[in-house]
Amino acid sequence: MRRAAVDRKTKETDIALVLNLDGGEVKVSTGIGFFDHMLTALGFYAGFGLEVKAEGDLHVDGHHTVEDVGIVLGQAFARALGDRAGIRRFGAAYVPMDEALCRTVVDISNRPFLVFDAAMPQPMIGDYDSCLTAEFMRAFAVHAGLTLHQQCLYGANAHHITEALFKSLGLALKDAVRREGEGVTSTKGLL
């Protein structure tokens, strides 16, 4: 079973996360309503089972909570994949959200890299600082071992842009983790 559980406790956050790449219930509680909504969308569109319980220093702001959830989700993703044998490896998706159109392309390469090209027209989405989307994506890509490219081709609403980015990430990951064979999808023979 492609499943992993990761707990991480620092002076800033306390996170317990369970990830099942092959499905299951999605339950998220981070104390940041919009972020919960985004993680729920990510898990749903990826077809993952995802349980996240996070407590953070929200009296400061949401940065540590959002970034640390990205770290823990990335670690769980890497552990759940194991040696990455048999996966498709690459995935891509476009998602329109009203006036916004976003694209995500992913390579489960074990070479972490993020290209993030999505300006946020509004600084806040409820209690969520819209610049934290890039922080989450960076933490997730680095700890999951992903090459991750995300772009908003156009859009005027930070809520719509962010939602399209999370949903397209889910769809791209769903494609990339799909089993297609037995060996590692690399001419090098190793990811």
Spell out the residues 6+ positions from residue 88 whose beta carbon is closer than 8 angstroms to its own: 175, 176, 177, 178, 179, 180, 185
Spell out the residues 6+ positions from residue 35 whose beta carbon is closer than 8 angstroms to its own: 62, 65, 66, 69, 128, 132
What pLDDT does residue 191 have? 67
Q: Does residue 190 register a pLDDT over 70?
A: no
What domains, with CATH codes, occur in the chain?
A: 3-176 (3.30.230.40)
DSSP 78-141: HHHHTT-TTB--EEEEEEEETTEEEEEEEE--S--EEEEE---SSSEETTEETTHHHHHHHHHH
For 167-181, letters b (16+ CB in 10 Å) and e give bbbbbbbbbbbeeee
Query: Which tens digits make up the pLDDT trace of 132-163?
Result: 999 999 999 999 999 999 999 999 999 999 99
Cβ atoms within 10 Å of 129's Cβ, excluding its own: 20
User: For residues 13 and 55, is the Cβ–Cβ distance under 8 A?
Assistant: yes
- Token digits of residue 185: 């999808």
What pLDDT does residue 181 have? 81
Question: In this structure, what are the phi and psi dihedrals at residue 117, rounded to the nearest 5 degrees?
Answer: -125, 80
Query: Which tens digits make up the pLDDT trace of 57-109?
Result: 999 999 999 999 999 999 999 999 998 989 999 999 999 999 999 999 999 99
Angle, vertex CA 54, rays to CA 152 and CA 173, nearest 5: 40
pTM, whole model, 2 decimals? 0.95
Q: Of 85, 138, 83, 89, give the one whose Cα is nearest residue 116.
A: 138
Percent of the chain with pLDDT over 70: 97
